[in-house]
A = this chain, B = another copy of it.
């Protein structure tokens, strides 16, 4: 099959063709780029919802509840889970993701776990491309679950249309710093496990921070929603908040500004990733890299000089 035929299959919603392409996106196969060019004109329709929060806050349970609600409304769903464990293990650990599996027999739900891999990064590019494939497949809503720490993940969160930040009461002082830092990307703040002590205090704190912080450029006033996802509590209110934000950002001016921000990040990450592959070629892959490192260890060259030498070979 040529790139055009692959693209056609994916646009028709062929799960096997899409899965194969996604695997090859992960593996940085060169043919991917030609298929992506074909898919590009068929994208831009899906609504991407970011679900971001520290480990243990219940992201998967929330995603599971949202799938259920959106399915009942007749939407087709894509789910992309970015697994923070993967840099260490080389593969995603499923953990309590298993809960979500009850949707796996539903052909309207397509779930994909994404590993971060390789020392040259590339998470953002893979994720953007995979979101775009799901978009081309005709998924109405794509849920993007991530821990949201690290530049790569932040880039990813920034490409979501609605960003939810999930928190729970009683995670200690350090988390407050995160909250303050995360203000700028949160369209909706979810206090999950809200039956726990401290939920009201947390709500007041977030409100205070929102009031004290700089007004958002787009004029949106972030919502705060309390949930107890495991019991389905607050999910209705959460969905309403999402829909309210969606309506708000349908405004053409907001839409263009958002696209500018998202495409800027995506273009840079696409470049970064392609260049990384070229760097490895110039160095001579693993073997050449080992040799370069040994030269540095044996004191033949310092790190900075060696780096300059490689750059001279690579760049115009």
What residues of chain A have their CB less than 8 Å away from a CB belonging to chain B? Answer: 33, 36-37, 40-41, 54-60, 83-89, 93-96, 116, 118-121, 123, 147, 149-155, 171-178, 180-185, 256, 259-260, 263-272, 274-276, 278-279, 289-290, 292-294, 296-297, 302-308, 310-311, 313-316
Look across to chain B and name the residue whose beta carbon is closest to the beta carbon of A308.
B33
**Complex Cα spacing A268 to B122, Å:** 14
**Complex Cα spacing A88 to B177, Å:** 11
A272-B279, A313-B316 known; A33 vs B304 contact (CB < 8 Å): yes
Q: Across the interface, do A84 and B178 meet the contact criterion of CB distance under 8 Å? A: yes
Q: Across the interface, do A271 and B263 meet the contact criterion of CB distance under 8 Å? A: no
Q: Across the interface, do A183 and B88 meet the contact criterion of CB distance under 8 Å? A: yes
User: Which of these, B33, B36, B184, B303, contacts A263 with CB under 8 Å?
Assistant: B303
CB distance from A100 to the nearest CB of B (A): 13
Residues of B within 8 A of A83 (CB): 177
Residues of B within 8 A of A56 (CB): 54, 171-175
Q: Across the interface, do B311 and A275 meet the contact criterion of CB distance under 8 Å? A: yes
10 tightest CB-CB pairs across the interface, nearest first? A150-B150, A85-B181, A56-B172, A95-B177, A55-B174, A40-B302, A149-B149, A88-B181, A87-B154, A56-B171
A37-B305, A268-B119 known; A275 vs B314 contact (CB < 8 Å): yes
Q: Across the interface, do B275 and A279 meet the contact criterion of CB distance under 8 Å? A: yes
**Complex Cα spacing A83 to B154, Å:** 14
Greatest chain B CB density within 10 A among A33, A178, A278, A313 is at A178
Q: Across the interface, do B150 and A260 meet the contact criterion of CB distance under 8 Å? A: no
Residues of B within 8 A of A86 (CB): 181
Q: Across the interface, do B307 and A270 meet the contact criterion of CB distance under 8 Å? A: yes
A58-B172, A306-B267 known; A155 vs B88 contact (CB < 8 Å): no
User: Which of these, B37, B89, B96, B271, contacts A180 with CB under 8 Å?
Assistant: B89
A56-B171, A172-B58, A181-B93 known; A266 vs B303 contact (CB < 8 Å): yes
